[in-house]
Amino acid sequence: MGIKKGGLASAQESSNAGEGNAFSRTTTYGISLLNDPEKAALADFNLVFASLPWQIVQAHPHMHELPDDNFSPLIPAAERLQQLLEARQ
């Protein structure tokens, strides 16, 4: 499974660098709506995401994949972020 590596932090960084497109501006705005615990949980998620052993997809060098599609290290951070966001309702 190929995925474009980057995540929300990358979208925010490109927007801050003046390269923002509609997606990155929307993402930056969305992040600004999060409270501090939600932003911290998102930062934790992005840290884990960035630390995964991404490999370049040879047929599509702009995309990356994980060996065996193992996203399991993301589960605790994703669950924490989900709990915080669901508590808003």
Mean pLDDT score, 39-43: 96
| Type of residue numbered 12 | Q
The DSSP letter of residue 50 is: H
Break the chain into its structural domains and give their ranges: 7-86
Q: Could you tell me the sign of the dihedral formed by the alpha carbons of 25, 27, 33, 39, in that order?
A: negative
Nearest of 35, 15, 33 to residue 23 by alpha carbon: 15
- Among the listed ranges 1-5, 23-27, 73-77, which one has the minimum average pLDDT value? 1-5
Question: What is the chain's mean pLDDT, rounded?
Answer: 82
| Type of residue numbered 85 | L
- Report pLDDT digits (tens) over 43-72: 999 999 999 999 999 999 999 999 899 999
